[in-house]
Amino acid sequence: MIARGFPVADFEQRSADLSVIYPNLVPGYRDAQAILIKKRDGGASTEERRQAMVNFRTLFDELVGIAHQKESSMEAVK
């Protein structure tokens, strides 16, 4: 996130900044963060942790451009 210019110290500020560029990903990011806190406190189920990883991975893929790379590859195949 630092490489993309997003602050990493404050979750709320990070979420607000992300919402400007990736508004559709912020709800999943917030859910994943809540599950991470729940896990830390010993209360997250395996399914919740799996969903958190899916949400984090979706944001990560978008930040590093994997989604765009896949689309470009698919367009090249057509």
* pLDDT, tens digit (0-9, with 9 covering 90-100), for 48-65: 999 999 999 999 999 888
32 half-sphere exposure, CB direction, 13 A CA radius: 18
Name the band, by pLDDT with cuts 50, 70 and 90, for residue 77.
low
Rounded-to-integer distance, Cα 63 and Cα 3, Å: 9
Question: Which amino acid appears at position 18 of this protein?
Answer: L
* Torsion over CA: 64, 66, 15, 35 (sign): negative
Both tokens assigned to 38: 């729940």
pLDDT at res. 58: 94
* pLDDT, tens digit (0-9, with 9 covering 90-100), for 6-60: 767 788 888 898 899 899 999 999 999 999 999 999 899 999 999 999 999 999 9
Q: Where are the alpha helices (DSSP H) in 1-78?
A: 11-21, 26-40, 46-64, 66-77
* All structural domains of the chain with their residue ranges: 11-77
